[in-house]
Amino acid sequence: MKPQAYIIGVGPGSSEFLSDRARDRLRRSQVVLGWDLDLLPARDLLSGKQVYLQNVRNYRETAKEVAEKFRDTDAAVAILRVGDPYISSGLTGLLELFAGYDIEVVPGVSSVQVAASLARINIDDAVVITFHESGDIEERKWFMLDALHRGRHLLMLAGEELRPDAAARYLVEHGIDQSLPVLICERLTLTDQNLIWTTLGGLREIKPYWLTVIAVIQPMSTLQI
């Protein structure tokens, strides 16, 4: 019988967004893997479980340790990911690492969805791009630029790879209208959530919290409806 692994989307931060299915799969698990932000919405469900905490220095090694340690046991492993596991969560790497496990992926509410609802834009009229993860940053910057030139909204998950103010400078320098409305979403759904309305030009002078969702909003006339 294969060991069990649940890759669980825990929502954007508040426990209000933790689904019943996520709670159920977490209750079935004896082992929990995740970062601080991943564990936050589920903190009331962690009692009595073996918790492996990831951070910027050890996240790969800790995930590999858990995958190998429980591969030949009957313990169920819950891998918590803030938001939705299919958006900016390293899902491909987790599926490879936990190969041989019986894996169930539990969707969650993403901060992208919350930001889109606050900005009043359709995600299918937008392009979602993340700068949380390493990779070809220039290609992703070009993709972001191309999407805006084509009249799409932009939902950007900012990160250390590209911070919000640097992204705004890049876009304006490459011909994007600096008057486009921008919604900065910091710490979404948490008690210290902060929303800032500005413009793309204005964003160049603002240094929001680095782990932020930015919505750049196109006029309705540019969208093909």
In SS3 terms, the chain reads as CCCEEEEEECECCCHHHCCHHHHHHHHHCCEEEEEHHHHHHHHHHCCCCEEEEECCCCHHHHHHHHHHHCCCCCCEEEEEECECCCCCCCHHHHHHHCCCCEEEEECCCCHHHHHHHHHCCCHHHEEEEECCCCCCHHHHHHHHHHHHHCCCEEEEECECCECHHHHHHHHHHCCCCCCCEEEEEECCCCCCCEEEEEEHHHHCCCCCCCCEEEEECCCHHHCCC
Q: What is the pLDDT of residue 108?
A: 96
Going residue by residue through the chain, which has 225 residues, state the pLDDT in tens, using 9 for 90 and above. Answer: 789 999 999 999 999 999 999 999 999 999 999 999 999 999 999 999 999 999 988 989 999 999 999 999 999 999 999 999 998 778 999 999 999 999 999 999 999 999 999 999 999 999 999 987 766 889 999 999 999 999 999 999 988 888 999 999 999 999 999 999 999 999 999 999 999 999 999 999 998 887 799 999 999 755 554
Model confidence pTM above 0.75: yes
Q: What is the pLDDT of residue 225?
A: 44
Q: What is the pLDDT of residue 103?
A: 97
Q: What is the pLDDT of residue 209?
A: 80
Q: What is the pLDDT of residue 222?
A: 58
